[in-house]
């Protein structure tokens, strides 16, 4: 009996040593969770035994339980490195088209593969959800592989131009009829913006402002577009301001308090067609026009200031950078200035983390003991937030592990000594004559 008790102690000490050694070996493994060997005593009796004098039968390994408390952070310069601050797991799949066959992990070291899908070091696909561009809400919690396209969208022709300016009340009055964009002395101020045609070709559109020398609260604004051949006037249809060359612009009238009274006589400010302006468009739509919208222009005794000068066109964009916010939204910035939310990183939790089945590679599988997976998104409900440019280190405490290693070694030595004593007693009995 003593042999069996000591032998069970040796097995338990060996299991403890193996568990502690595995923890120490994975001290630098991202997302690794430490394990703890838990033991129970072996005790049995029968109706013919005296429970008051029955000794235990040794020790048995009850479970090797993983501890899912958070590890510390390590900061990187890679925005695709992610960590979860709080509860939850990332979900990864071996097959892009089989997202329901997935594993859970806390290791957020991701990168883009050759097809621009977000993958980990095992080329498993990070799963997430589609997002509505208008509402920024998740469309469906059906998981899918997340992709970051290196190009974005078809070109979009500019149709609307938003303008917000302060025109200085003390500006030098000039003759509107003498306006000439090639002569700086015929206008007060100018500003420009890049606009696009239906093929995404860029043009420089310039707005010129002339203070009327006949009415102190009136300004005229003229427009030009620069193509490959140079700068050309772009007339305003039904414009009220005309220069000597016959090109039309719009009048902007102000009240005595500097607020706008009316623009272009209250009529819409729509430009002539680009083809009528003689632009070289290389096959683009020549019927394109611009609708100018002044956003509360002012005439205060302050310097000329452009508060807004924007347009709604875009050319084809190329991927410039990728960011991930605390909600797990993947926001891509493209060379055309577009910021697009491509999707949201999926988050998964289970009722009982201890019931997860370890698959190796710092990954786990849902089991009957863990309970069904609950899908959601970061910062909602019990889910934690996502930190970009940060990885979760293992939750190993090296000091504690070394103490546990010494303790396991002492236990092994003590049980070895008990086995040796049992052996000596057996030898003594066998030598009795």
Locate the DSSP E strands across 156-256: 160-166, 189-196, 202-211, 218-227, 230-233, 236-237, 241-242, 248-254
Binned at pLDDT 50, 70 and 90, residue 46 comes out as low
Q: Do both 400 and 388 map to the same domain?
A: no
Q: Which of 289, 311, 333 lies at the terminal end of a domain, its last residue?
A: 311
Q: Within 10 Å of residue 425's Cβ, how many Cβ atoms?
A: 11
Question: What number is the average pLDDT over the span 22-35?
Answer: 93
Whether 426 has a pLDDT exceeding 60, the answer reads: yes
First-residue to last-residue Cα distance in the chain: 24
Binned at pLDDT 50, 70 and 90, residue 1 comes out as low
Q: Do both 84 and 101 map to the same domain?
A: yes
Q: What is the pLDDT of residues 84-106, one digit of tens each?
A: 999 999 999 999 999 999 999 99
Q: Within 10 Å of residue 428's Cβ, how many Cβ atoms?
A: 9
Q: What is the pLDDT of residue 49?
A: 65
Q: Do both 329 and 302 map to the same domain?
A: no
Q: Mean pLDDT of all residues in the chain? A: 91
Whether 130 has a pLDDT exceeding 70, the answer reads: yes
Question: What number is the average pLDDT over the span 321-349?
Answer: 91
Whether 53 has a pLDDT exceeding 70, the answer reads: no
Q: C-alpha distances in angstroms, 142 versus 96, 116, 128, 352?
A: 13, 20, 8, 22
Q: 236: which residues sit within 8 A by CB, 6+ positions away?
A: 223, 248, 249, 250, 264, 269, 270, 271, 272, 292
**Cα–Cα–Cα angle for 171, 177, 179, rounded to 5 degrees:** 65
Binned at pLDDT 50, 70 and 90, residue 198 comes out as very high
Higher pLDDT, 268 or 151: 268
Q: Do both 346 and 377 map to the same domain?
A: yes
Q: What is the pLDDT of residue 320?
A: 87
SS3 state of residue 214:
coil
Q: What is the pLDDT of residue 315?
A: 86
Question: What number is the average pLDDT over the span 355-369?
Answer: 93
Q: C-alpha distances in angstroms, 399 versus 27, 50, 63, 304, 405?
A: 11, 44, 23, 66, 10
Locate the DSSP E strands across 2-153: 35-42, 58-66, 73-75, 82-85, 90-93, 102-105, 111-112, 118-119, 125-129, 144-145, 151-152
Q: Do both 164 and 307 map to the same domain?
A: yes
Q: Which of 283, 311, 339 lies at the terminal end of a domain, its last residue?
A: 311
Question: What number is the average pLDDT over the span 273-289?
Answer: 93
Locate the DSSP E strands across 43-188: 58-66, 73-75, 82-85, 90-93, 102-105, 111-112, 118-119, 125-129, 144-145, 151-152, 160-166
Binned at pLDDT 50, 70 and 90, residue 60 comes out as confident
Q: Do both 104 and 134 map to the same domain?
A: yes
Using DSSP bridges, classify how beta strands 111-112 and 73-75 pair: parallel, antiparallel or unpaired: unpaired
Q: What is the pLDDT of residues 290-308, one digit of tens each?
A: 999 999 999 999 999 999 9
| Residue 421 CA to its chain's centroid (Å) | 64
Whole-number percent of the chain with pLDDT over 90: 73
Q: Do both 372 and 408 map to the same domain?
A: no
Q: Do both 303 and 384 map to the same domain?
A: no
> Would the pTM count as exceeding 0.75?
no
Half-sphere exposure (CA, 13 Å, Cβ side) for 301? 2
- Helical segments of 48-202, H only: none
Q: What is the pLDDT of residue 45?
A: 67
Q: What are phi and psi of 422, to 5 degrees?
A: -60, -40
Whole-number percent of the chain with pLDDT over 70: 97
Q: Which of 281, 311, 341 lies at the terminal end of a domain, its last residue?
A: 311
Q: Do both 335 and 286 map to the same domain?
A: no
Q: Do both 9 and 136 map to the same domain?
A: no
Q: Do both 183 and 283 map to the same domain?
A: yes
Q: What is the pLDDT of residue 433?
A: 65
Whether 369 has a pLDDT exceeding 90, the answer reads: yes
Answer whether 387's CB lies under 8 Å from 70's CB: no
For the chain, how many structural domains are there in total?
Answer: 3
Q: What is the CATH number of the domain that holds 233?
A: 2.60.98.20
Q: What is the pLDDT of residue 80?
A: 94
Q: What is the pLDDT of residue 365?
A: 95
Binned at pLDDT 50, 70 and 90, residue 5 comes out as confident
Whether 50 has a pLDDT exceeding 70, the answer reads: no
Q: Which range marks the domain in which residue 40 is found?
A: 2-69+396-430
Taking each helix axis as running N to C, give the angle between helix 2-25 and helix 398-430, from 0 to 180 degrees, rounded to the nearest 10: 160
Q: Do both 65 and 79 map to the same domain?
A: no
Q: What is the pLDDT of residue 103?
A: 96
Between CA 234 and CA 226 the distance in angstroms is 10
Binned at pLDDT 50, 70 and 90, residue 51 comes out as low
């Amino acid at each position: 009996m003593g042999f069996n008790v000591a032998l069970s102690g040796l097995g338990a000490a060996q299991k403890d040593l193996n568990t502690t050694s595995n923890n120490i070996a994975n001290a630098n493994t991202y997302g690794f969770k430490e394990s703890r060997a838990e033991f129970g005593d072996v005790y049995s009796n029968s109706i013919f035994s005296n429970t008051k004098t029955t000794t235990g039968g040794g020790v048995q390994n009850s479970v090797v339980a993983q501890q899912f408390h958070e590890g510390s952070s390590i900061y990187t310069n890679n925005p695709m490195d992610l960590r979860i601050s709080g509860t939850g797991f990332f979900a990864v799949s071996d097959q892009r088209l089989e997202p329901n066959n997935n594993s859970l992990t806390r290791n957020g070291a991701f990168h883009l593969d050759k097809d621009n899908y977000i993958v980990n070091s095992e080329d498993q696909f990070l799963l997430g959800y589609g997002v509505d561009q208008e509402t920024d809400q998740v469309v469906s919690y059906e998981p899918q592989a997340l992709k970051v396209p290196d190009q974005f969208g078809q070109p979009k022709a500019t149709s609307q131009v938003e303008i917000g300016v302060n025109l200085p009340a003390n500006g030098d009055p000039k003759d509107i009829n003498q306006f000439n964009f090639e002569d700086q002395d015929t206008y007060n101020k100018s500003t420009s913006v890049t606009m696009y045609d239906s093929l995404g070709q860029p043009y420089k559109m310039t707005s010129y402002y002339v203070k009327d020398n006949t009415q102190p609260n009136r300004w005229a604004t003229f427009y030009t577009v620069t193509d490959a051949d140079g700068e050309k006037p772009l007339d305003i249809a039904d414009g009220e301001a005309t220069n000597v060359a016959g090109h039309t612009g719009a009048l902007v009238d102000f009240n005595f308090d500097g607020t706008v009274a009316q623009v272009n006589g209250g009529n819409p400010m729509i430009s002539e067609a680009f083809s009528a302006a003689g632009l070289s468009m290389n096959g683009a739509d020549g019927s394109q026009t611009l609708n100018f919208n002044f956003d509360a222009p002012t005439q205060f005794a302050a310097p000329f200031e452009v508060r807004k000068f924007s347009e709604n066109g875009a050319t084809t964009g190329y991927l410039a950078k990728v960011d991930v916010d605390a909600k797990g939204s993947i926001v891509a910035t493209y060379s055309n200035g577009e910021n697009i939310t491509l999707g949201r990183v999926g988050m998964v939790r289970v009722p009982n983390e201890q019931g997860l089945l370890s698959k190796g590679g710092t990954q786990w599988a849902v089991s009957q003991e863990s309970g069904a997976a609950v899908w959601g998104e970061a910062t909602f409900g019990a889910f934690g937030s996502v930190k970009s440019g940060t990885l979760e280190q293992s939750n190993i405490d090296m000091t504690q592990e070394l103490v546990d290693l010494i303790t396991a070694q002492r236990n092994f030595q003590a049980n070895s000594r008990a086995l040796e004593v049992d052996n000596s007693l057996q030898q003594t009995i066998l030598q009795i004559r």
